[in-house]
Chain A
Amino acid sequence: MRGFGDLESVVMHMVWDSCGPVTVRELFDQLSRDRSIAYTTVMSTMDNLHRKGWLARVKDGKAYQYTATASREEYSARLMREALAGGGDTEAVLTHFVAQIGGAESQVLRTVVQRLSGRRPE
């Protein structure tokens, strides 16, 4: 069984992949096809996501209709903006495998790469 955090991710991806607003029931039906999961778990997960600002909801009869507050692309772009913002200025502490490299260094790397690919025996 995956952790609770993972379920949030799964739910968000399902909401993003769906064409319009979704209800807890619809997601629960989809989810219970490939895992045993309680309806209340799905409900509380979606409630959490709503509380954290990921999902917006409107009451439709007895049930809530959930929609994502921003698209997956928008979230990805936001993350990348924060992750790639200049060096030590970001408030979030991340460690990049390769930091953003400047023109000169990048040129040196490219030269090395060209030499490598030129001599590659194939």
Chain B
Amino acid sequence: MTPALLICAYALAVGWFLPELLAALTAPGMSARLGLTAWLTSMACVLACFAVALQYLLGAAVTGWPLLAQAICRSATGHACPPLVYRGAILEIPLSAAALGGALAATVLAWQYGRRLQRSRRRTRAHAESARITGRALTAASGTVVLDVQQPAAYCVPGRPPAIVLTAGALAVLEPAQLTAVIAHEKAHLAGGHHRLVALTRGLAAILPRVPLFTRGAAEVERLAEMRADDRAARDFGRPVLVTALLAMGTGTAIPVLALAATAQNVTARVHRLLAPPPRARHIGNGLALVTVTLLVAAGSALIARFAGPLAAHALAVP
């Protein structure tokens, strides 16, 4: 019982208090990849902690009953006093109820999670197929299709095969270079498996809506995945192209790359501050902080899972 409580306390503390810290560290999006790793690792750790706690609880519940039965038998034959039986029963019955309730809740949540993931995958694939049939191929070979819709939009959707979807409205406001950058951004999502991360974390947020680590984490994972894809596209096509593409799509007006490239750098800097990661000065420190936090959470989880049992035994043995 006590080890399970210790582990749960740790998991809840991480689930409630870590999001603030992680969000502060990942907010500027300085190292999108490290940020993603930090969020995902922390979520996995908390889930693993809950699983280990449940295991302890079930273990304690199962080992308790034979002892109680023994006590009952001995009291019946007059070898032990009834209070021992009552004390055993008082401890054992709630413990078993808690273990059973925990196991039941975990099963229900896991089932809901699976259902949700399955449904979302089906809908996603259907959307990809529908887009591939309805849209016109942008070029003969690519998996990029154009929908005859005036509102500018560009997105990608995984499936077999995946589809990158652009609207006619998007084509109207994007220059060829910007269009290439947008497609590169979407391809980075597909190559990085970002949809899977988004689906997994969104699902967790849906089944555990009270745990900030999962709700806030789902939103942050989505945001960081965008930044990661931006980084990839910017690396290959340059920041001006990407920033103007973002502006053009965001406002629905054509913005030539030249407009940005030719104007003073301070304007570029402002757009960067608005839309792209801040300067690299704090990059390394931020990265180190993220790595440290991630490692601490992981190490803490491993330690508490491993030593909660002995720790609790020791604590109970002292008095």
Contact = CB atoms under 8 A, between A and B. Distances in A.
Interface of A: 2-3, 5-6, 8-9, 12-13, 49, 54, 72-73, 75-80, 82-84, 88, 90-99, 101, 105-106, 108-110, 112-113, 115-117, 119-121
Which label, helix, strand, loop or mixed, suits the secondary structure of the A interface? helix
Interface stretch (B60-68, B105-113, B121-129): B121-129
Given A6-B137, A97-B185, A98-B249, A79 B127 contact: yes
B119 A91 contact: yes
A83 B153 contact: yes
Contacts of A105: 250
A119 to B, nearest CB: 5
B229 to A, nearest CB: 7
Contact of B157 (A2, A93, A117): A93
Contacts of A72: 134, 148
A70 B136 CA distance: 17
B225 to A, nearest CB: 7
Given A72-B134, A79-B130, A120-B263, A95 B148 contact: no
A2 B271 CA distance: 42
Contact count band on B = 35 or more
B134 A79 contact: yes
Given A93-B202, A95-B225, A116-B255, A79 B165 contact: yes
B183 to A, nearest CB: 9
Contacts of A54: 133
A113 B198 contact: no
A67 to B, nearest CB: 16
Contacts of B5: none
A120 B151 contact: no
Given A82-B123, A93-B202, 17 more contacts: A9-B132, A72-B134, A76-B148, A78-B130, A83-B153, A83-B165, A88-B219, A92-B126, A92-B157, A93-B124, A94-B195, A95-B186, A96-B153, A97-B246, A98-B154, A108-B274, A113-B251
